[in-house]
């Protein structure tokens, strides 16, 4: 199979199904109703992998959309992050929800536990901006109702 | 002061329910070019933005910071700095400057500069630039599907009809938040009955919204609202970073994301900081792009009526759509919330998006009556569908809605309601009865449906979230109930997430699950003959409206029975001074048998003859064959008349009283309003013609006037006249006739 070319291989599902895999390693062709009936596939299989999302980021970049590419790059990092962590980080980033230390702690966890350095950097960038604009909480989450 | 009755009538019009105000800049009530909008400026040091629109870095608010960090390209900034505003405005409408060049340049423009340049364009220039800058080649449309009773059968039926009508996306929401999972399931199942591949969403609070997406019950989300000032952003309980994170979170689960912004929201929230709506929207849009969203719904949205209260409001909204497209964002261009009570005014506004075409011409066309629209929407609703389709046909423009026969509509509605009934049964949700299904198929709105047990429904909604019931469970339920093709389609939607192709800009799903986006189907408009044009099969599809009539049927008349006119030979010049000629057209009481108003020719002829006799003159019937024009028919008749007076009569019923010494196109009396003529009118015409012949004083026959008759009957008029014209024999002399009554 030829190497991935972000300028010509979109849509991946139609043009490069050979490159697309589920998190459990199945190909698109295996995701049929028969497999669903027998329980061979489930909702956990019907998701994009980090690799697929990185390819989509490359496609966006090749199409001249650097910010969309950045966002899809963060999405690639988040692909394997559990739902509850994602919801917690979102809440932590809302205005006046977190102290500077709490945001730093999230950045650490994202970077080291979830291999999401891009998202971690983004959280740190938010922490700096929030500090400047008074959008941090002054009491740790545990001390608030 | 005296007030005219005309002014009183105007004051009663729908338009006057609205409040129009002069601009009030300090409250943010100014559409564009606000006096307090900052002077554009952009200063970079070593690639870092240190001044943005007059504000030094130290004074940046969260939006400035975010845009400075993610939204400005230093190379493009250098390019833009070398160009005057007027030159950039000119390039927007220069057909030879390609979209890519303008998009690249936009990355070097600040919000104030974008707003200022966009405001330099007049309405037609804005439309042209928008046509050029739209992201996707083919315009599409989005539907709203909601109802006040949150009836799942009705939601499913409406979603199916919307999908069958060609909407690419369908959006629902809730009256009660706990209904969200059930509503999402209803439109998911319903939409895939109508057309596999339609994307759906359920607009609720962000966390719940994300949860529905994660469970595979929705395929996209456009709940991500942004605002143009920091206090509004914070009041919306978000920051650019939290929104951008959320966008990536959705994308990580394969869910398409679109942000939301629109003119007027900051003024409504009390934090416009004295700036114009267009400038604040430019700030929103720069933040949206900087956050990495593929697109935005903008153009007033829920605050559209506030922008329209101001001078230039409609223009400012079109300008904000343009800026979004210029920033390379997919645009769902509003027209969802009610813009005006006035059908004229709201449609004038609509044309700004409808004619150029946007990625989604509306952010939600209400496929059900606006009574049931839970978005506060329904600017256009189910009652307006024929108008929308007809305007597409009039302009030969694709605004994303397809005609659908009532037979097909009923069929997909029924099947969708059955499908969601089956899903509810399989998942042990509260029963959807056969009665609900039947009523959902034919209902006008949710008032036609029975009330459901709302407590039981919301408990089922909670179960969806608690047990993690997802898209695959809905697919399995449908499969077990025999809706295998619908199950396949829902599985198809889940499969889209695996490849994640719908995350690219302006993605929709076409026939055969083909993903069409700005990547593989970019807008390639480069002047006449290029870009997307409504042509070929698509044009055939969009122009064939169910209420279109076959012209061949319009001029068809019952021609059974022999003509009752007997030809006595060639007509000669009359000698009797009390004679009135009734001159009929070539097809009268022959190929054609009745007037446009449905009066039998025989009765019309008898009525005129009776009128002539009643006044003491003698009728004589002549057929003119050389012309189908009422003036010449009448004038030829007058030339043969012993009195010099004739009634000219076309088959469609148009009549004239003519006199031999007048010019053919002159006349004594003309009766052009054939549809309004009665047999009594024709008798009166006969009486008057006789009175002219006998040199008696004549009061003209009173005639009705209906200025809509022409619009209503012009096609039939043309076809009847064409039939008469086909019977012309150019060289033939008039014929003397006798009417032989049965």
Domains annotated on chain B, with CATH: 565-739 (3.40.50.10150)
User: Distance of CA B277 to CAs B26, B89, B306, B334, B370, Å?
Assistant: 12, 19, 10, 15, 27
CB atoms within 10 A of CB A118: 18
Q: Say if residue B646 is exposed, middle or buried (CB neighbours under 10 Å; 0-12, 13-18, 19+).
A: buried
pLDDT tens-digit map of B338-385: 999 999 999 999 999 999 999 999 999 999 999 999 998 899 999 999
Of B505, B398, B500, B502, residue with least CA distance to B103: B505
The CATH number of whichever domain residue A140 belongs to comes to 1.10.1510.20
- Structural domain ending residue among the three candidates A41, A65, A80: A80
How large is the average pLDDT for residues B193-206? 96
The total number of structural domains that make up chain A: 2
Same domain, A100 and A62: no
Same domain, A5 and A69: yes
The reply to whether B142 belongs to the active site is yes
Task: Determine the residue of chain A that is closest to B486 in CA distance.
Answer: A33
3-class secondary structure, A22: coil
The alpha carbon of B447 is separated from its chain's Cα centroid by a whole number of angstroms, namely 26
Same domain, A93 and A130: yes
Residue B41: is its pLDDT beyond 90? yes
Secondary structure letter of residue B429 according to DSSP: P
Residue B557: is its pLDDT beyond 90? no
Same domain, A100 and A69: no
More confident residue, A44 or B484: B484
pLDDT tens-digit map of B531-554: 999 999 999 999 999 999 988 888
* Nearest chain B Cα distance for residue A44, angstroms: 10
Cβ contacts of B515 on chain A, cutoff 8 Å: 11, 13-14
pLDDT tens-digit map of A68-95: 999 999 999 999 999 999 999 999 999 9
CA distance B321 to B330: 10
Cβ contacts of A95 on chain B, cutoff 8 Å: 233-234, 237-239, 242
Of B741, B739, B723, B740, residue with least CA distance to B585: B723
Same domain, A14 and A60: yes
Percentage above 90 pLDDT, chain B: 94
CA distance B688 to B697: 9
Same domain, A72 and A113: no
Which of A9, A41, A63 is the best residue to mutate to test the B interface, defined by the most B CB atoms within 10 Å of its own CB? Answer: A63
- Cα torsion B352, B355, B357, B363 to 10°: value is 50
Residue B322: is its pLDDT beyond 50? yes
pLDDT tens-digit map of B225-236: 999 999 999 999
Residue-range definition of the domain harbouring residue A86: 81-145
- Name A58's Cβ contacts closer than 8 Å, sequence gap at least 6: A4, A6, A69
Structure tokens at B12: 């009663």
pLDDT of residue B559: 79
Task: Determine the residue of chain A that is closest to B508 in CA distance.
Answer: A11
* Nearest chain B Cα distance for residue A47, angstroms: 5
Specify the pairing of strand B295-297 against strand B199-203. unpaired
How large is the average pLDDT for residues B567-585? 96
* Helix A117-133 and helix A83-93, axial crossing angle in degrees, nearest 10: 20
DSSP characters over B315-329: HHHHHHHHHHHHTT-
Percentage above 70 pLDDT, chain B: 100
Same domain, A107 and A126: yes
- Name A78's Cβ contacts closer than 8 Å, sequence gap at least 6: A86, A116, A119, B248, B249, B251, B252
Task: Determine the residue of chain B that is closest to A13 in CA distance.
Answer: B499
User: Distance of CA B149 to CAs B413, B447, B680, B696, Å?
Assistant: 18, 8, 55, 73
pLDDT tens-digit map of B372-425: 999 988 999 999 999 999 999 999 999 999 999 999 999 999 999 999 999 999
Same domain, A23 and A74: yes
- Structural domain ending residue among the three candidates A29, A51, A80: A80
- Structural domain ending residue among the three candidates A51, A80, A109: A80
pLDDT of residue A145: 45
A42·B472 Cβ contact <8 A: yes
Q: How confident is the model at residue B120 (pLDDT cuts 50, 70, 90)?
A: very high
Same domain, A18 and A89: no
pLDDT of residue A143: 62
pLDDT of residue B742: 43
Of B565, B627, B632, B628, residue with least CA distance to B602: B565
pLDDT of residue B440: 98
Same domain, A4 and A62: yes
Same domain, A51 and A119: no
Contact B305, B292 (CB under 8 A): no
* Nearest chain A Cα distance for residue B530, angstroms: 21
CA distance B424 to B401: 30
CA distance B453 to B462: 15
pLDDT of residue A142: 64
Q: Average pLDDT, whole number, for chain B?
A: 96
Q: Is the peptide bond before B148 cis (omega within 30 degrees of 0)?
A: no
Q: Say if residue B22 is exposed, middle or buried (CB neighbours under 10 Å; 0-12, 13-18, 19+).
A: exposed
Structure tokens at B377: 């929407």
* Nearest chain A Cα distance for residue B214, angstroms: 8
CA distance B241 to B234: 12
Residue B739: is its pLDDT beyond 90? no
Which of B292, B473, B502 is the best residue to mutate to test the A interface, defined by the most A CB atoms within 10 Å of its own CB? Answer: B292
Task: Determine the residue of chain B that is closest to A64 in CA distance.
Answer: B104
Residue B741: is its pLDDT beyond 70? no
Specify the pairing of strand B655-659 against strand B169-173. unpaired
B292·A70 Cβ contact <8 A: yes
B505·A65 Cβ contact <8 A: yes
Same domain, A76 and A86: no
Of B245, B496, B504, the CB nearest to A90: B245
């Amino acid at each position: 199979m030829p190497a991935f070319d972000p300028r010509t291989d979109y849509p991946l599902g139609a043009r490069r199904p050979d490159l697309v895999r589920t998190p459990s390693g199945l190909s698109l062709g295996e995701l049929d109703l028969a497999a669903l009936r027998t329980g061979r596939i489930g909702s956990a299989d019907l998701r994009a992998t980090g690799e697929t999302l990185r390819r989509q980021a490359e496609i966006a970049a090749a199409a001249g959309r650097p910010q969309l590419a950045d966002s899809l790059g963060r999405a690639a990092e988040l692909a394997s992050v559990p739902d509850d962590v994602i919801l917690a980080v979102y809440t932590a980033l809302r205005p006046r929800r977190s102290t500077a230390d709490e945001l730093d702690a999230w950045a650490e966890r994202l970077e080291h536990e979830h291999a999401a350095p891009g998202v971690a950097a983004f959280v740190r960038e938010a922490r700096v901006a929030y500090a400047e604009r008074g959008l941090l909480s002054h009491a740790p989450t545990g001390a608030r109702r | 002061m005296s007030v005219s009755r005309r002014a009183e009538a105007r004051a009663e019009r729908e338009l006057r329910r609205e409040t129009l105000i002069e601009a009030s800049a300090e409250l943010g009530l100014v559409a564009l070019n606000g006096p307090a909008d900052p002077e554009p400026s952009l200063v970079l040091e070593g690639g870092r933005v240190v001044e943005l629109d007059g504000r030094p870095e130290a004074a940046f608010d969260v939006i400035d910071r975010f845009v400075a960090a993610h939204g400005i390209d230093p190379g493009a900034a250098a390019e833009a700095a070398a160009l005057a505003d007027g030159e950039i405005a000119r390039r927007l409408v220069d057909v030879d400057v390609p979209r890519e060049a303008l998009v690249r340049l936009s990355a070097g423009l600040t919000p104030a500069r974008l707003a200022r340049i966009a405001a330099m364009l007049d309405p037609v220039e804005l439309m042209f630039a928008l046509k050029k800058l739209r992201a996707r080649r083919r315009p599409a449309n989005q539907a709203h599907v909601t109802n006040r009773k949150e009836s799942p059968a009705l939601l499913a039926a409406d979603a199916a009809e919307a999908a069958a009508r060609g909407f690419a996306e369908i959006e629902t929401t809730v009256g009660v938040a706990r209904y969200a999972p059930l509503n999402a399931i209803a439109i998911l199942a319903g939409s895939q009955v109508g057309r596999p591949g339609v994307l759906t969403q359920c607009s609720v609070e962000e966390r719940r919204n994300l949860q529905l997406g994660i469970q595979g019950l929705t395929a996209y989300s456009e709940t991500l609202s942004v605002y143009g000032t920091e206090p509004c952003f914070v009041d919306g309980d978000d920051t650019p970073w939290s929104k951008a994170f959320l966008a990536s979170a959705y994308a990580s689960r394969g869910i398409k994301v679109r942000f939301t912004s629109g003119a007027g929201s900051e003024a409504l929230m009390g934090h416009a900081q004295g700036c114009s709506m267009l400038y604040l929207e430019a700030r929103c849009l720069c933040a949206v792009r900087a956050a990495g969203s593929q697109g935005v719904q903008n153009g007033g949205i829920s605050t559209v009526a506030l922008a329209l209260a101001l001078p230039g409001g409609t223009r400012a909204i079109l300008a904000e759509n343009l800026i979004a497209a210029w920033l390379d964002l997919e645009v769902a261009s509003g027209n969802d919330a009610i813009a005006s009570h006035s059908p004229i005014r709201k449609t004038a506004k609509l044309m700004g998006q409808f004619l150029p075409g946007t990625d989604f011409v509306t952010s939600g066309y209400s496929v059900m009556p606006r009574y049931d629209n839970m978005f506060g929407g329904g600017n256009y609703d189910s009652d307006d569908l024929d108008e929308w389709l007809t305007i597409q046909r009039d302009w030969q423009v694709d605004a994303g809605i397809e005609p659908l026969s009532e037979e097909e509509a009923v069929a997909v509605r029924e099947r969708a309601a059955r499908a969601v009934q089956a899903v509810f049964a399989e998942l042990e949700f509260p029963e959807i009865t056969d009665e609900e299904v039947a009523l959902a198929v034919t209902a006008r709105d949710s008032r036609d449906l029975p009330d459901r047990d709302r407590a039981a429904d919301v408990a089922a909604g909670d179960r969806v979230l608690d047990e993690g019931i997802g898209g695959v469970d809905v697919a399995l339920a449908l499969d077990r109930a025999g809706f295998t093709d619908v199950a396949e389609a829902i599985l198809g939607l889940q499969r889209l997430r695996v490849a994640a192709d719908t995350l690219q800009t302006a993605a929709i799903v076409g026939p055969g699950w083909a993903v069409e986006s700005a990547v593989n189907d970019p807008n390639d408009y480069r002047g006449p003959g290029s870009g997307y044009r409504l042509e070929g099969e698509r044009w055939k599809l969009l122009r064939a409206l169910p209420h279109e009539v076959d012209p061949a049927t319009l001029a068809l008349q019952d021609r059974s029975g022999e003509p009752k006119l007997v030809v006595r030979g060639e007509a000669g010049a009359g000698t009797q001074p009390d004679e009135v000629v009734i001159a009929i057209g070539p097809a009268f009481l022959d190929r054609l048998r009745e007037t446009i108003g449905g009066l039998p020719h025989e009765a019309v002829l008898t009525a005129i003859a009776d009128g002539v006799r009643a006044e003491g003159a003698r009728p004589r019937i002549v057929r003119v064959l050389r012309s189908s024009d009422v003036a010449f028919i009448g004038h030829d008749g007058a030339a043969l008349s012993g009195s010099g007076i004739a009634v000219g009569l076309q088959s469609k019923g148009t009549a004239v009283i003519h006199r031999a010494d007048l010019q053919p196109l002159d006349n004594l009396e003309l009766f052009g309003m054939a549809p309004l003529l009665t047999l009594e009118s024709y008798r009166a015409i006969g009486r008057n013609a006789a009175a002219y012949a006998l040199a008696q004083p004549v009061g003209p026959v009173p005639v009705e006037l209906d200025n809509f008759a022409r619009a209503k009957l012009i096609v039939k008029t043309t076809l009847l006249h064409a039939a008469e014209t086909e019977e012309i024999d150019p060289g033939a002399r008039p014929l003397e006739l006798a009417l032989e009554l049965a």
